[in-house]
Amino acid sequence: MRNALTIAGREIRSYFSSPVAYVLLAVFLALGGYFFYALLTAFNQTLAMYAMMRQPEMLQRFNLNQMVIAPLLHNMSVLLIFIVPAITMRMFPDEKRYGTYELLLTSPVRVGEIVFGKFLGGLTLVALMVLLSGLFGALLCAYGNPEVPLMLSGYLGLLLMALVFLAAGTLISSFTDNVVVAYVGTLFALLVLYTIGWLGETLQGTAGGLVRYISVTEHFSEMTKGIIDTKDLVYFATLLVIGLFLTHRSVESVRWR
Amino acid sequence: MIEVANLSKRYGDLAAVRDVSFTAPSGKIVGFLGPNGAGKTTTMRIITGFLPATSGTVRVEGFDVFEQSTEVRRRIGYLPENPPLYNEMSVTGYLRFVARLKGLARADVESALERVLDTCGLRAMRDRLLGHLSKGFRQRVGLAQALIHDPPVLILDEPTIGLDPRQIIEIRSLIKTLGGKRTIVLSTHILPEVAQVCDKVVIINDGHVVVEDELANLTRGRTLEDVFIEAISRDIGDGGHAVAAVEAEA
């Protein structure tokens, strides 16, 4: 564990001593802010419209959580599909290109510690992103009255999803020594993971159920509605463990080829 | 002390190393010579545990590289052909990281850092970014990295490659001062380097050992160049495989 922290620390310093972390944070928050503004404006206009039509029973139906926070979280999850691969793409390819892989693998460090250290480094950056995007929720709390537990459940869903993306990116970056291949490969995997649920709408029976279960969106949607179900948590944990376990295998196999 | 016995490494059909055996006695500097592509780097990577061997054994300070890999890695300082540097780190930041990675306790890191900065002449460069250093200083940081945990065994893969003559002399004398209490294996194809620095010579050609002897025995009345050229051309004349077979029988 100590070695994992050493490796994670170096990883984090490397993100922040280059423009990488700042650019990714800025892009994520700028686009997130734009989505937030657009959704909020649309919400206010809808409210104003129904107020004019004097239909108070319709007003009851609309709430901040459903019309602003949930779609905002969904939009931000799409942003993560593009941003997480940029975080993970250098993890292993750069080590291989600059020869530092030899340093890591000839040090008295276990492969699991290398993998977990890399993952922890990425996790720190991603968690910071999700945390800073909490500003949008905080603004709503300051000027409106959203249901806070529901909102927190959604943010937890976003974070869990980001961790699964991160594990997938870590795995794919361990396969290659090329940064572009790592980025595009991860992007592909995340898009498949995100959109495979679409098949579930047409497929019948077990296949349809299975596809819906694999789809990350299904589980995430539940959490944005404020439902924290064990089966969703198990889903996220399972993907996380599988991703890290396979990365461990992949790094080990490079060593014993 | 390093004992290499019957080491072979195959990459698919290509045999990079065939039945290599030699020993590096404690406290001695062993020159590992051979033409480019002879298998020097592969052998060194196997000794450090970076690559697995196809067959054969390596023992470092009595520990088996395959069975007790962590124990071996604790005891080896390794300078690969290209110094393993993270360009965005400073000299001290990098060396502190390596010190932790090699298992030094937090309290011991600073003293180890100051020691290698002195040994490798890096004091003036301590806050510079690795990416901004010249080739010679990168090589020194590579050496400092290998020394930071004060290992009893050093594996140096072409430590003077790409340096200017003054830097070569500096690095050589540095390596010489490191010998004595450490076992050092250094690979090179610069013969005078071996003549000046090493106690023992192992010459490898086409993946197998053609000469293993004390430097003094080899250079009695001859230059190391003569020994090297003769060994290599005899090996090629016989056909490399025949020599390997004879040596394996003997």
Put simply, the answer to whether B102 touches A107 (Cβ < 8 Å) is yes
Put simply, the answer to whether B80 touches A14 (Cβ < 8 Å) is no
- Residues with Cβ within 8 Å of A207's Cβ and at least 6 positions away in sequence, in order, are none
For residue A162, the distance in angstroms to the closest alpha carbon of chain B comes to 26
In this structure, the strands spanning B200-205 and B208-214 are antiparallel
Residue in B43, B33, B41 with CA at minimum distance from that of residue B9: B43
* Percent share of chain B, pLDDT over 90: 56
| Closest chain B residue by Cα to residue A110 | B70
Rounded to an integer, what is the distance from CA B194 to the centroid of its chain?
12
| Closest chain B residue by Cα to residue A100 | B84
pLDDT at B244: 47
pLDDT at B245: 45
The upper half-sphere exposure of residue A90, i.e. CA atoms within 13 Å in the direction of its Cβ, equals 16
Looking at the partner chain, which of B70, B82, B93 has a beta carbon nearest the beta carbon of A108? B70
Looking up tokens 């900065």 gives: B117
* Percent share of chain B, pLDDT over 70: 94
Length of chain A measured in residues: 257
Q: Is the pLDDT of residue B239 over 60?
A: no
pLDDT at A257: 53
Distance CA A126, CA A128 (A): 5
Q: Is the pLDDT of residue A55 over 80?
A: no
pLDDT at A256: 60
| Closest chain A residue by Cα to residue B65 | A106
Count interface pairs A-B at CB distance under 8 A.
72
Q: Is the ipTM of this complex over 0.90?
A: no
Q: Give chain B positions within 8 Å (CB) of A104.
A: 101
Q: Is the pLDDT of residue A49 over 90?
A: no
Q: Which tokens in the block code for residue A100?
A: 């530092």
Element (H, E) at B210: strand B208-214
Q: Give chain B positions within 8 Å (CB) of A10.
A: 86, 89, 97
Is the CB of B50 inside 8 Å of chain A's CB atoms?
yes
CA dihedral B198, B204, B207, B210 (to 10 degrees): -140
Least confident of A72-81, A220-229, B104-113, B140-149: A220-229
Put simply, the answer to whether B74 touches A108 (Cβ < 8 Å) is yes
Where are the strands (E) in B52-152, listed by range?
Answer: 55-60, 63-64, 76-79
User: What letter represents residue B185's amino acid?
Assistant: V
Domain spans in chain A, listed from the N-terminal domain onward: 2-255
Put simply, the answer to whether B84 touches A107 (Cβ < 8 Å) is no
Q: Give chain A positions within 8 Å (CB) of B145.
A: 103
Looking up tokens 């340093």 gives: A103
- Structural domains counted in chain B: 1
Greatest CA separation for chain B: 58
Q: What is the DSSP string of A142-156?
A: HHS---HHHHHHHHH
For residue B50, give its domain range. Answer: 2-249
Output the pTM of the full model. Answer: 0.90
Q: Which tokens in the block code for residue A155?
A: 């943010």
**Residue pLDDT, tens place only, B52-68:** 999 999 999 999 998 89
CB A159 within 8 A of CB A214: no
Distance CA B92, CA B130 (A): 10
Looking up tokens 């293993």 gives: B212
Is the CB of B32 inside 8 Å of chain A's CB atoms?
no
Q: Is the pLDDT of residue B247 over 50?
A: no
pLDDT at B242: 46
* Percent share of chain A, pLDDT over 70: 96
Is the CB of A105 inside 8 Å of chain B's CB atoms?
yes
CATH number reported for the structural domain that contains residue B239 in this entry: 3.40.50.300
Query: C-alpha angle with apex A124: A118 to A125, nearest 5 degrees?
Result: 100
| Closest chain B residue by Cα to residue A104 | B101
**Residue pLDDT, tens place only, A179-212:** 999 999 999 999 999 988 888 778 878 888 888 8
| Closest chain B residue by Cα to residue A254 | B51
Q: Is the pLDDT of residue B204 over 60?
A: yes
Confidence of residue B243 (pLDDT cuts 50, 70, 90): very low
Q: Give chain B positions within 8 Å (CB) of A108.
A: 70, 73-74, 102-103
Determine phi and psi for B214, rounding to 5 degrees.
-65, 145
Q: How much of chain A is in helix, strand and coil states, percent to nearest 5? A: 85, 0, 15
Looking at the partner chain, which of B50, B100, B103 has a beta carbon nearest the beta carbon of A102? B50
Is the CB of B96 inside 8 Å of chain A's CB atoms?
no
Query: C-alpha angle with apex B6: B5 to B11, nearest 5 degrees?
Result: 125
Q: How much of chain B is in helix, strand and coil states, percent to nearest 5? A: 45, 25, 30
